[in-house]
Amino acid sequence: MTVDELYELLRVRSDVFVVEQDCVYQDLDCDDQKSIHLWLTDGDKVVALCRVCPAGTHMEEISIGRVITTERGKGYGKRIMLEGIKAARHFFNAERIDLEAQEYARGFYEQVGFRQSSEPFILDGIPHIRMTCDSFDFLPVLE
């Protein structure tokens, strides 16, 4: 990853999670250096991103987080999540993947194989739920 790519990913994360959602929180949490970062571009614009964290970093289990799409309704979110699952399985031999989803996005994550695995909780002032994916039979073969 180049410095310019890193800067763009952090800028997009700040735009969405801090500015758009009006949420002050510590995005730079020292998990980025250990994580795999995935992003999709359309031309020179980042349209989706996520990070895949090894077990014991952001969460106890392997996890996917910082999921963003900048252009909704175009399938970018599903595509980046499927690539994130693929990366978790390939690089970390994931048999289980967890994430902390904003509660309103539950249906989106269910579409890519996650199920709710906790009661709602507040994280950074926003309602969240923990979700888990431990069955990958439904996944299409990804190149």
Residue type, 49: L
DSSP string, 41-105: EETTEEEEEEEEEPTTSSSSS-EEEEEEESSTTSSHHHHHHHHHHHHHHHHH--S-EEEEEEGGG
Q: Is 0.85 surpassed by the pTM of this model?
A: yes
Q: How confident is the model at residue 89 (pLDDT cuts 50, 70, 90)?
A: very high
Burial class (CB in 10 A: 0-12, 13-18, 19+), 3: exposed
- Structure-block tokens of residue 4: 């310019």
Per the CB < 8 A criterion, the answer to whether 114 and 128 are in contact is: no
Q: Which residues pair with 48 in a beta bridge?
A: 40, 69
pLDDT per residue over 39-80, tens digit each?
999 998 999 999 999 999 989 999 999 999 998 899 999 999
3-133 topology per CATH? Aminopeptidase (3.40.630)
pLDDT at 138 over 70: no
